[in-house]
Structure formats: structure tokens, C-alpha cells
A = this chain, B = another copy of it.
């Protein structure tokens, strides 16, 4: 607790207005923030921290990913342990559960040199059971762990309007929010450790199901003679309405400014959706929760990955289902 007080001391006098914190860019006394994982998402996120005036201590397994940050004035280190030695607030953004385990508990992991009272925020999307394990290990060292996976892609990361779903001890939420609001416009407290991951996984599972459902319904309707735009309009004023039908319609020609209008370029890749559905599947298996459509959605995105759709936006499931039989 004392640790929390000390840490929060740095941020204590700041004010909150509504959901969005006013980050005082001019503040000279900001303490350093560690950032581990400077990939497609981590790179723009860390840059936003820099923009908000935080001295960043950076690390990535690929040294070249750090170079850019060196130029921006960040301090580049040799290992997660080194980051932990130099910063008592660290954000991690890693591609998978094994990577997260390695970065936290590996031979040169954060826990080797983490300071008491440190705040460790993991924004990776991983198995919530792993988040809980990491939290236990972190807690044993007298530090605090929160899971804070993001919603929104590279564009939102650049624009600083990601959504963070945060799990962990509630009294530490404000301290986490101070940093996260520099990178996102929405920071939602979800409950104890792991619930951030849970919220993200559940949302993406429902998203995948609705998207495939929208693709099936649009495709069937078109084959039955309906005009796609008219069908989308009917669905959107009826009980079939969903984000996939009214905001991100998968049928080319129905909406503008969405991946389906651009040959399914950009957006949220099929391979990433398959990964999140795999996490949902593992969580469901571990909790003995039946997810008949969620597991089928997982299989469909898995098959799409093997049929050349891995890097296309996940709304390309329309195209996948649309293909005509040929003899």
C-alpha cells in the first residue's frame, strides 16, 4: 500500500475531467515509464507516451525496433530486467501468452529486478488464466499487476484513441489510467485481475460470430434476389442489427470507408481474430462453458487463414463464403 501511495504521489495533484485525463505535457518532473514490446501496436502506443512527456525506457527483442525510440530520446535497454531496474511503471505489449510469460518470469525477465511498489500493466491480449498467474508472481515481489488489453487497431493506437479494458485491484486503477489515457480515449475498469482480458475475449468472440452471421445473411439474401444495400437497411432497422451490419458491413458496395470497400485491406486481420478466438476457446474449455457458435467461428477463421485470408480484414469472411461453386 505504501508503495501505491508513493507512486501515486507523482500523479496525485492532477485533475480528472470526465473520462479523459488532462495530461500535463509541460510537467518536468514525470518519472520514467518502461515500455516492452515495440511492434505494430506497441510502437505508436509508446510514441504517445513520449508525446505526453514521459521519459520512456524501451525494450524489444528485435533491437531495430528500438532504434527509432533512441532517436526520440528514449533510453533503450538490453532486457526486461533492465527496464524494471530503471522504471517503476512498465507497460508490456506482447504478441502471445508465452511471450508474456518470458518477459515477466524469464531469465532476464521483469521480475528479476522489479522494484517493490512498481505498477506493471500488460496490454497484451492473452489467456486470462495466464494474466492471473503473472499477477500472483508479481504480487509475491511486492509489485502490482494489471491486465489492460486494447480494442482498436493500429490506426487507433496512432491516434491515441484505443479502448483499454482493465483488470486488477481497484485502488490502483487511477494510477494505471494516468498512463493509459495518454494512449486511449476509453479506459474501462472491468474488475479483478484477468477481467480485462475476459471482457476483450468475450467482445471479440461475439464480434466474430456477428460478423460471420452478417456475412451469411447478406450472402443468402443476395442469392435469394435481394439488393445488398436494401437488405443491409432492412437488417439495420430490425432485430438482426449489429455492429457488423450497421458500422462495418462486410459486403463490398454497401458502405464506404470500411475494409470491404477496399478489398478487405487494413482493419483487423483474420489471423488476429483467429488468435483471439483461440483464447476464447481455451477460456471456455477451462471453465467448461459451452460456446457452440464461438468454437465454430474459431474454426471458420482458422480455415480462412489456410486459404489465403490470413492478412485480410476479418470481414472478408463474406468473400470466403461468397465464392461460387465451379465444376
Contact = CB atoms under 8 A, between A and B. Distances in A.
Select the residue from A198, A203, A217 with max chain B CB neighbours within 10 A: A217
A308 B326 contact: yes
Interface in A9-31: none
Interface residues of A, number: 90
Nearest to A279: B285
A297 B244 CA distance: 18
Contact of A310 (B285, B295, B307, B325): B325
A231 B188 CA distance: 11
B226 A202 contact: yes
Nearest to A188: B234
Contact of A292 (B198, B203, B212): B212
A271 interface: yes
A147 B199 CA distance: 37
Interface stretch (A118-126, A135-143, A298-306): A298-306
Interface stretch (A43-51, A69-77, A189-197): A189-197
- When all copies of this chain in the complex are counted, the total is 4
A325 B301 CA distance: 11
Given A213-B205, A245-B206, A281-B285, A238 B294 contact: no
A287 B203 CA distance: 24
A2 interface: no
A221 interface: yes
A191 B226 contact: yes
Contacts of A65: none
Interface in A240-279: 240-245, 247-248, 271, 274, 278
Interface string A194-227: 1101110111111101101110111111011111
B212 A198 contact: no
B305 A288 contact: yes
A165 interface: yes
Give the interface SS of chain A, mostly helix, strand, loop or mixed: helix
A247 to B, nearest CB: 8
Contact of A296 (B227, B245, B296, B325): B296
22 contacts: A151-B238, A163-B237, A163-B238, A190-B226, A190-B230, A191-B230, A199-B221, A199-B234, A202-B224, A205-B216, A206-B240, A206-B242, A206-B245, A207-B240, A209-B217, A210-B213, A220-B280, A220-B287, A281-B282, A282-B282, A285-B298, A295-B299
Interface of A: 128, 151, 163, 165, 186, 188, 190-192, 194-195, 197-199, 201-207, 209-210, 212-214, 216-221, 223-227, 230-231, 234-235, 237-245, 247-248, 271, 274, 278, 280-285, 287-300, 302-303, 305-308, 310-311, 320-321, 323-327
**Lowest 9 CB-CB distances: which A-B pairs, in order?**
A209-B213, A242-B242, A198-B224, A206-B240, A206-B217, A306-B323, A203-B240, A202-B221, A295-B295
